Every structure is written in C-alpha cells, then in structure tokens.
Amino acid sequence: MERYTRRRALQLGVGGLGVLAGCSTTSPGSDETTSDGLALDTLSVAGSSGSTVPVQPSNSVVLLDFFATWCAPCKPQMKHLRQIRSDFPDLHMLSVTWESERSLVADFWREYEGTWNVAMDPELRTGERYGIDRIPTLVVLDADGTEQWRHTGLVAADDVAERLRAAGASGGG
C-alpha cells in the first residue's frame, strides 16, 4: 500500500509541475516585436548569429525546423536544410531544439554544418505554439504568419523548396 501511495504522489507531483509550467508560457497575444509574439536567443556558433531573433518576423516567409541532437533522422535532414539555405539565402530559417545543454547543441551544429540560426527553447514555448509533438518537423509559414505546410520526418530539399515557393518565398531557382 505504501508503494502505491508514493507512486501516486509522484504522478500527481509531476502532473502538477506540468500544469504550472503551462501557466508560465508566453500567451499568444503577448506584445513582442514579432507577428507571432515569440523571440528566441540563438546560439553563437558558426552559421548562427548569437542574437535574439523572432520566430515569425512580420511580413516574412519562414521555415521552422524542430529537431534534437539525439534524433536519428535530424542528422541527414541537415544536408537538405543546408541546400535550402543555399537556394533561399533571404529566407527566415530557424532551427529549434528543446534541449538545454548548450554544448551538445553547439557541437551538433558544428558537426552537421548548420548555416542558419539555431535556438534552444527548453521551456517548449515554440513547440506548444505550433503544436509540435514529433521531430524532426518542418513548418512553413507565409508572410501573414499562416501555416502553409508541415512535415514530420526526413524530407528532401526539392519538396521543401516547392512548399516555400508556394508560400511566397523567392529563390530556389
């Protein structure tokens, strides 16, 4: 009986923490300088600016990449994303991980040659905002901030480029 009580108390405690964490996230209507109200600090590592960037800048087509350093398909996806960066140099690209260990993310970024901004969001604000429940997931937003496409799993650069052009991005020949 005591074992059951401890287990139940632990479950209730973890559940309560989840509720409290949800209460502390940025509300969708918050007044930040972006069209979606979110900005993240990027890592200062090759290809990433090390500054605060909006997740969805006003009047910009956006490609969001949700990934993790331990995610097997996220590694080959980097090659395709580098091709997108090359073909769409003015595109607002942002890779987001929920990991909290900066050195792991920086090492991954260097090893897989990321050439765009990467941000850590251990509070899960962006994942909650965009309803991300699996990785890797790519999301394309048009200049009005409307989601135009979403893909979970490995996807080729040509498929992403087609979706970006359909959303109004210029580039990708």
What's the pLDDT tens digit per position in 58-113?
Answer: 899 999 999 999 999 999 999 999 999 999 999 999 999 999 999 999 999 999 99
Most confident of 18-22, 102-106, 148-152: 148-152
Q: Where are the alpha helices (DSSP H) in the chain?
A: 2-23, 74-87, 102-111, 125-130, 157-166
Whether residue 154 has pLDDT greater than 90: yes
Asked if 54 contacts 129 with a C-beta cutoff of 8 angstroms, the reply is: no
Helix (H) or strand (E) segment spanning residue 147: strand 147-152
pLDDT given for residue 12 in this prediction: 40
Instruction: Please compute, for residue 112, the number of CA atoms within 13 A of its CA located in the half-sphere on the CB side.
Output: 27
Whether residue 167 has pLDDT greater than 50: yes
More confident residue, 123 or 23: 123
Other beta carbons less than 10 A from residue 30's beta carbon: 11
pLDDT given for residue 52 in this prediction: 84
More confident residue, 39 or 129: 129
What Rg value do the Cα atoms of the chain yield, rounded? 18
Q: Evaluate whether the domain defined by 30-166 bears CATH number 3.40.30.10.
A: yes
Q: What's the average model confidence in pLDDT over 137-160?
A: 97
More confident residue, 165 or 24: 165
pLDDT given for residue 36 in this prediction: 54
Residue carrying the six token digits 């995610």: 71
- The amino acid at residue 116 is W
**Every domain of the chain and the residues it spans:** 30-166
Q: What's the average model confidence in pLDDT over 14-34?
A: 35
Whether residue 1 has pLDDT greater than 70: no
What are the tokens at 92?
């607002």
Cα 15 to its chain centre, rounded Å, is 25
3-state SS assignment for residue 122:
coil
* Confidence tier at 44 by pLDDT (50, 70, 90): low
pLDDT given for residue 7 in this prediction: 41
Asked if 117 contacts 54 with a C-beta cutoff of 8 angstroms, the reply is: no
Average pLDDT, the chain: 81
More confident residue, 48 or 171: 171
